[in-house]
């Protein structure tokens, strides 16, 4: 029983107050899969160009990630370049070269289609919908989206998320999607759109979970040093679904235990926090499961009263 | 054993997206004392003009607040007027008429000077220092300050807070005071300035407690409707010190139990959240201790994992 992750695999150019890298492995699918790989077997669906480096393939493989669904096509890999503000709460996009990602048509390998867990990274809503159709008996389906699809492609986004169990978005996206500033009201409006489980990510301020008529609030982990926040939200998603896919979830679709969901939010927070400790996905070259569990318990110690 | 609270007693004109009031009881001392009065006997020190309404005196007295230290002088009471942004995260000050507050020289009634607990609201650091000198054997002393004193009167602020057990400020003030953006580093720098206990208030995002080499993180309470955030930070302070003064603290100055401090932060959060539910301090006209404890337990339910 594995997790299928669909989304962008990219190269990033990143500048933060701590330094600059011209080209480092990136993309939502990459970060989600790396984070999830600590919890469950993960199979990715994405596309890269002929410039995709063998050492990056090797890095993903070293984390046990199944790359059968990673298409290699002629051309260049998706490239994004950005620069963070001094406090790293804002970033300016300096380049978005879609390259081979512009024509991405996710096709699930036959061996993926029976899998129970699906995480749809932020891509066009029609493609997300098409991927779900290719799955035969998914038990738990959810994903991410962004302001662009919410504002300009709402008619495509709404039927897409209607079929999802969970939606993971940030607070400004939740407000935009629901038309409600108040997050309790926003959550109620989003539940009515389909997803019975909503996770609102708030960056350094933590996250909120809304499910089964209750909510759970978790503050943001305090890091000594935020090196590079790129991918932190995706790693949150990867930790969240990875933990749920690891066996915490009941086998009937939608039958999720509240305790599992809360723990999944903490594991998401933990993975997002580790992501910020080095440039790009470099923290995952050395991170161990023991360190993850230690930070999970630290969350408990720092929030218990 | 009572709590002494020093600070502004005022009238406010407030406009929020939910409505407008031209003149309502306000001031940091008022909010702190009202919130603290649910936990402990509270005695205030402040100054009002001859326009201070008997029904406002009556309201404070109805909460059991000792008004012996509330000086009445000829002239008008401090008046502040502000308008909140649509999302209520920002506010514009439209008027600040110090009036009788301009010459405020806090003088503690003889009966106050033996009290063990002192909360210094945001006033000039010299005055805060002078008040502390008037106390004979304080066990637990702390207070609030603001960007103005941090930026322009640092040489007076530093010797003032050096004598405090705890400091309660918001995150931008903590960053300004310490010169550190990272809050873990900011807290370490502030501890070195004197206060062994630091509470950083983050508005809707909750609060952080740093004490005894550990930290505690609490998310913000989610309200269905934020009516008027005026005074919420002061009510946090009132709930925090009120709970500690109610008996949770060991009788030796500085010997505070970590569990007490964490609970005090939750009670602070609870009082701040109630404050936002009506205009000005109106929520405290009907609020009961049972409602406070219910919300305390709700915090537990919403953060437990």
Q: Report the residue of A90, A185, A214, A219 to disrupt the B interface, i.e. the one with the largest count of B CBs within 10 Å.
A: A219
Q: Report the residue of B220, B223, B305 to disrupt the A interface, i.e. the one with the largest count of A CBs within 10 Å.
A: B305
pLDDT digits (tens, 9 = 90+) for A25-58: 999 999 999 999 999 999 999 999 999 999 999 9
pLDDT digits (tens, 9 = 90+) for B57-115: 999 999 999 999 999 999 999 999 999 998 888 899 999 999 999 999 999 999 999 99
Confidence of residue A89 (pLDDT cuts 50, 70, 90): confident
Among candidate residues A22, A30, A205, the one with its CA nearest the CA of residue A122: A30
> What are the chain A neighbours of B220 within 8 Å (beta carbons)?
217
State how far the alpha carbon of B240 is from the alpha carbons of B63, B64, B147, B155, B201, in Å. 17, 18, 21, 28, 11
Supply angle C-alpha A209, A214, A218, rounded to 5: 35
> What are the chain A neighbours of B224 within 8 Å (beta carbons)?
182, 184-185
B205–A208 CB contact, under 8 Å:
no
Which residues of B make CB contacts under 8 Å with A? 86-87, 181-185, 202, 205-206, 208, 214-220, 222-226, 259, 262-263, 265-266, 300-305
pLDDT above 60 for A250? no
Closest chain B residue to A87, measured at CA: B181
> What are the chain A neighbours of B226 within 8 Å (beta carbons)?
182
A217–B302 CB contact, under 8 Å:
yes
Among candidate residues A19, A298, A89, the one with its CA nearest the CA of residue B181: A89
Tell me how close the Cα of A282 comes to any Cα of chain B, in angstroms.
22
Tell me how close the Cα of B227 comes to any Cα of chain A, in angstroms.
11
Share the mean pLDDT of chain A.
Answer: 95
pLDDT score at A248:
53
Where does residue A197 rank: exposed (0-12), middle (13-18), buried (19+ CB within 10 A)? buried
> What are the chain A neighbours of B218 within 8 Å (beta carbons)?
219, 303, 305
pLDDT above 50 for B142? yes
Q: Look up residue B37 and give its two tokens.
A: 């009065």
pLDDT score at A184:
97
pLDDT above 60 for B252? no
- Write down the ipTM of this complex: 0.92
What are the backbone dihedrals phi and psi of residue A177, each rounded to the nearest 5 degrees, phi first? -65, -40
Q: Give the 3-state secondary structure of residue B119.
A: strand
């Amino acid at each position: 029983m594995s997790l299928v992750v669909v989304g962008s695999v990219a190269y990033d150019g990143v500048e933060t107050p701590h330094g600059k890298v011209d080209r480092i492995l990136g993309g939502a699918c990459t970060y989600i899969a790396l984070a999830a790989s600590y919890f469950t077997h993960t199979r990715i669906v994405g596309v890269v160009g002929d410039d995709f480096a063998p050492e990056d393939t090797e890095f993903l493989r070293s984390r046990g990630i199944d790359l059968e669904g990673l298409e290699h096509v002629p051309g260049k890999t998706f490239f994004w370049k950005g620069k963070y503000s001094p406090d790293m709460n804002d970033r300016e996009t300096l380049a978005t070269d879609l390259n081979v990602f512009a024509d991405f048509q996710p096709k699930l390998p036959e061996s993926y289609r029976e899998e129970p867990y699906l995480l749809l990274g932020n891509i066009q809503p029609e493609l997300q919908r098409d991927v779900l159709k290719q799955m035969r008996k998914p038990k738990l389906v959810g994903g991410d989206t962004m302001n662009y699809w919410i504002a300009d492609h709402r008619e495509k986004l709404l039927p897409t998320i209607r079929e999802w169990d969970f939606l993971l978005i940030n607070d400004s996206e939740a407000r935009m999607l629901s038309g409600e500033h108040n997050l309790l009201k926003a959550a109620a409006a989003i539940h009515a759109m389909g997803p019975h489980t909503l996770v609102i990510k708030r960056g350094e301020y933590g996250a909120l979970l809304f499910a089964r008529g209750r909510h759970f609030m978790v503050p943001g982990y305090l890091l000594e040093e935020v090196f590079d926040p790129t991918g932190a939200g995706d790693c949150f998603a990867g930790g969240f679904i990875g933990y749920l896919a690891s066996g915490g979830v009941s086998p009937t679709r939608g039958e999720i235990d509240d305790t599992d969901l809360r723990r999944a939010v903490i594991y998401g927070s933990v993975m997002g926090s580790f992501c910020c400790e080095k440039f790009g996905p470099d923290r995952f070259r050395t991170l161990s499961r023991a360190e993850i569990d230690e930070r999970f318990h630290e969350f408990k110690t720092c929030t218990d009263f």
